[in-house]
Amino acid sequence: MLVASTLALLGSLPAQAHTETYNVTLTFFEPDTQPRDTIFIGSFDYDTHTKTVSGLQGVLSESMTGDPVAYPNDNMTWLTLSNQLVSWYDASLGGTFAAAFRNTDTNTFWTGLLGKGDGWSPKAGIDAQGIYYGFGSTNPGNAYALIFVPDDPLAALTQAQIDKLAYADCAPGGMMGAVCMTGTSVAGYGLAGTMSGYPLSQTITAAVPEPETWGMLLAGLGLVGYAARRRSRR
């Protein structure tokens, strides 16, 4: 019965093998807070069949906090971004965008300045001049990081793809009065971030399977081999 169950489990693996877990690191150069930069470190799942990103989450550094020491020896404040709320495929750039947020909604920037806008996107942030969502009342303190996953997740990004990366930090450590700290590029959005920060690089690497995962797989393969040997002796 155990062998039969293991065979059934292994038989189902090929149908799921197109979903892989990756690690991602974004760096935004911050000329006004050197040697500290804004960095997002996270992970996500990518489905190569549907080209969709899911489960994006990670941490975002606040470069206006901490001593003047560069990552990874820094003591900056790091925000947890655990809610992937936005994702879409861009055929012109050949990949998928996804954003992880600090809050459980996308409300980040003020929408009252022009009376319109989605309240979170890099363009909305530029239109709002970086002012936080709900200006005039309590700041919800949202933050996000926007990554780009090319069709081949391990491929190096082109400059055009890097130019479309972005972040926003409206948490206390990212505020300058009513203005949130942001990172955008002139080439990608027409304007650099609110403190002149812009995307410098993004790296994606394949996640190493947990030891338990390898153990289960090897145990399953061992049972399959044992069953095959028993059949050959009959």
Average pLDDT over the chain reads: 88
User: CA angle 157-49-212, nearest 5°?
Assistant: 85
Number of Cβ within a 10 Å radius of residue 123: 16
7: confidence class by pLDDT, cuts 50, 70, 90: very low
pLDDT at 17 exceeding the cut of 90:
no
| Three-state DSSP class for residue 160 | helix
> Torsions phi, psi of 181, nearest 5?
-80, 130
User: CB–CB of 166/38 below 8 Å?
Assistant: no
The domain ranges of the chain are 2-8+18-233
| Three-state DSSP class for residue 229 | helix
pLDDT at 158 exceeding the cut of 70:
yes
Nearest by Cα to 207 from 11, 16, 22 = 22
DSSP 18-37: TEEEEEEEEEEE-TTSTT--
At 96-151, the pLDDT tens digits run: 999 999 999 999 999 886 656 799 999 999 999 999 999 989 999 999 999 999 99
User: CB–CB of 225/3 below 8 Å?
Assistant: no
72: confidence class by pLDDT, cuts 50, 70, 90: very high
Enter the tokens of residue 4: 């039969």
User: CB–CB of 62/80 below 8 Å?
Assistant: no
Enter the tokens of residue 113: 């300045």
Enter the tokens of residue 223: 């049972």
51: confidence class by pLDDT, cuts 50, 70, 90: very high
